[in-house]
């Protein structure tokens, strides 16, 4: 299977890092040869310039900025076997309008792809589902959703919310420093917290309730966070992210 990744940004490199362990025939495609050479050397893969690039017979992972879709479509030629797009806000209909392929998949991974720990939502042509699962499972868990709109919704959680969690992690770590922990210890404890939490399988409300004993320390913190509308703020962040994705 020949896989071509069009784009060389952080997300493209994260996907390349995850796939390189499982696929040998991978190339990176773009317009800046110096950047391409640097990425190709880093990942020991082939590279090609995008002008006149033939996508025929290949699985193409489109990892460019959404606004560049039309421009890129004018630089390539041929018909891909499968087009897997990670472009936020660009529907299957738009992809079909600009780039020729036998089958189309929209996917939304996140930057944890580099560590094989992405959660990736996908949708599209059912005949390409298995191949897309096989490829994207190499960078983490894959979840099939039913429509373009659900991909846009998933983007708010999978693609954007890592930034929100980074803010939470930073705040928790800073809180630890404020009460007296050394910075490195507080950061290690915070990373450990996120790792431990990801292993829990109970409902979120059950986790909170189990930890919050009557008149205890945890419920004091929960009360303080609720008083400051932490829950509503995060919900609004997800909603606004989704609404923005529909305008791209």
CATH number of 156-245, picked from 2.70.98.40, 1.10.3730.10, 3.40.228.10, 3.40.605.10: 1.10.3730.10
pLDDT at 245: 84
For the stretch 199-233, pLDDT in tens is 999 999 999 999 999 999 999 999 999 999 999 99
Q: Assign domain 3-146 one CATH number from 3.50.50.60, 3.40.80.10, 3.40.50.410, 3.40.50.720.
A: 3.40.50.720
Give pLDDT, residue 212.
Answer: 96
CA-wise closest residue to 185 among 193, 194, 176: 176
Distance CA 16, CA 135 (A): 11
Do the beta carbons of residue 31 and residue 7 sit within 8 Å?
no
**β 76-77/53-54 pair status:** parallel
What is the pLDDT at residue 248?
Answer: 75
**Among the residues of 105-182, which ranges form H helices?**
129-136, 148-154, 161-178
Chain-centroid distance, C-alpha 206:
28
Report the distance separating Cα 48 and Cα 243, nearest Å. Answer: 36
Q: Judging by beta carbons within 10 Å of its beta carbon (0-12, 13-18, 19+), is residue 142 exposed, middle or buried?
A: buried
Can you give the residue ranges of every domain in the chain? 3-146, 156-245
pTM score: 0.88
Low-confidence residues of the chain, pLDDT below 70?
A: none
């Amino acid at each position: 299977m020949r896989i071509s990744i069009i784009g060389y940004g952080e997300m493209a490199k994260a996907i390349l890092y995850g796939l390189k362990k499982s696929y040998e025939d991978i190339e990176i495609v773009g317009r800046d040869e110096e950047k391409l050479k640097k990425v190709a050397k880093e990942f020991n893969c082939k590279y090609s310039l995008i002008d006149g690039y033939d996508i025929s017979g290949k699985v193409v992972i489109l990892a460019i900025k959404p606004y560049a879709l039309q421009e890129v479509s004018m630089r390539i030629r041929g018909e891909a076997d499968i087009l897997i797009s990670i472009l936020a806000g660009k529907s299957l209909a738009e992809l079909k309008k600009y780039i020729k392929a036998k089958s189309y998949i929209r996917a939304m991974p996140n930057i944890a792809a580099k560590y094989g720990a992405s959660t990736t939502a996908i949708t599209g042509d059912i005949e390409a589902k298995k191949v897309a699962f096989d490829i994207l499972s190499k960078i983490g868990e894959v979840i099939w959703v039913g429509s373009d709109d659900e991909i846009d919704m998933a983007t708010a959680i999978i693609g954007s919310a890592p930034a929100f969690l980074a803010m939470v992690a930073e705040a928790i770590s800073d809180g630890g420093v404020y009460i007296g922990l050394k910075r490195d210890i507080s950061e290690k404890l915070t990373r450990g917290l996120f790792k431990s939490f990801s292993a829990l399988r109970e409902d979120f409300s059950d986790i909170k309730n189990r930890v919050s004993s009557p008149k205890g320390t945890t419920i004091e913190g929960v009360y303080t966070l609720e008083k400051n509308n932490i829950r509503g703020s995060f919900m609004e962040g997800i909603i606004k992210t989704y609404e923005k994705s529909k305008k791209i």
